[in-house]
Amino acid sequence: MMKAPVGGAKHQLLPSCSILALLAAFALPTQVQAQVATPPLTRAGTTISNTASATFDTGGGSTTINSNQVDLLVDELLDVTVDSSNPADVPTTPGATGQVLTFSVTNTGNGVENFALSTIANAGGDNYDPVVTQIYIDNGDGIFDPNTDTLYTPGANDPELDPDESVTIFVVATTPGAVVDGNRGIVSLIAAAVTGTGAPGTSFAGQGEGGGDAVVGSTGADGTDAGAFIVSAATVTLVKSAVVTNPLGTADPIPGATITYTIVATVAGSGAVSGLAITDNVPADTSYLAGSITLGGVAQSDGVDADAGDYNGTRINVALGTVAGGQTRTVTFRTTIN
């Protein structure tokens, strides 16, 4: 089978690559065949004309006659597909507004058509119903920006698409405050041909581009796809404890005793918290022990500087920044009882 000189040469030079060479040799013809198998749809309104001819000889030489011309006006197929552009669930948090799902709407028919957009956010198969607040039509950059993208108003600016043209649609939603970590909420976008939808084959006389009929195609002239949000929340718990030591070698909180406070912040959930900071006022009747702040066992200076801790004369503060779920941070500091 592999008689091609190039393939043979590769086989001799690089025996370990022979399977790759074989795959490459067959991959190209397969692609070419696929392209040939799906020519572009003939545009609605095109006239397909055809005349037959006959040639004959009655003894006085060859004669040709033509039939009448048959003209067929190509009708408009109404077809559309909707695809979610989010390969994975989109993270959200309880009560979050302006949460975005992205979709692509493609006119798979053969004529220019407007498509009405709507959403379904209360279907089952999930844990909650996102609240859809707006739909936006992208300006072509694929990035959601409410200042430059167009707010969709049903019936007023239903996107108009040429055959094979796609538009990116952003569905904006609010996440209810009552959801909890791990909850999932599905939103489906629906695009429907404004000329009409229905069972495949349904015909709208004279309403096709170019004056033919508009005929509902195999998609029913509407399409839908689902995207989903996943609640990725985090909670913080704070536990404080104190250990007392004194010069007498007991644990009694007497004047002169040292109190070591330990504060443990635990972040739980699949999300993260940002800007986490632990603050503790130095209690009355005690004196802060200079330089006693630690974070994760590492001493922190009292000044506001490169490390996370500081003491300002009345309270200690440790800035922890962003902490992901499943992590803990332990802060200690010491005071002495006056």
As measured in angstroms, the least distance from the Cβ of 334 to Ca ion is 16
Whole-angstrom distance, CA of residue 97 vs CA of residue 301: 40
**Nearest C-alpha neighbor of 223 from the set 21, 83, 26, 48:** 83
CB of 149 to Ca ion, least distance (A): 4
Interface with Ca ion in residues 195-224 (CB under 5 A): 209
Rounded to whole angstroms, how far apart are CA atoms 110 and 128? Answer: 39
Please state whether beta strands 99-107 and 80-84 pair in parallel, antiparallel, or not at all (unpaired): antiparallel
Report d(CA 255, CA 337) in Å as an integer. Answer: 5
307 binds Ca ion, rule: CB under 5 A:
yes
Q: State how far the Cα of 292 lies from the Cα of 142, in Å rounded to an integer.
A: 52
Q: How far is the CB of 131 from Ca ion (least distance, A)?
A: 11
Task: State yes or no: residue 113 binds Ca ion (CB under 5 A).
Answer: yes
> In which residue are the tokens 């089978």 written?
1
Of 221-229, 237-245, 270-278, 301-309, which segment contacts Ca ion by CB under 5 A? 301-309
DSSP 8-state code for residue 43: P
Nearest approach in angstroms of CB 273 to Ca ion is 22
Nearer to Ca ion by C-beta: 79 or 126?
A: 126
- Identify residues 310-329 at the interface with Ca ion (CB under 5 A): 310
Do the beta carbons of residue 282 and residue 316 sit within 8 Å?
yes
Total of residues contacting Ca ion (CB under 5 A): 16
Draw the binding track, 121-160, toward Ca ion (x: CB under 5 A; -: no contact).
-----x--x--------xx-x-x-----x-----------
- Judged by the rule CB under 5 A, the positions of this chain that interact with Ca ion are 111, 113, 126, 129, 138-139, 141, 143, 149, 209, 301, 303, 305, 307, 309-310
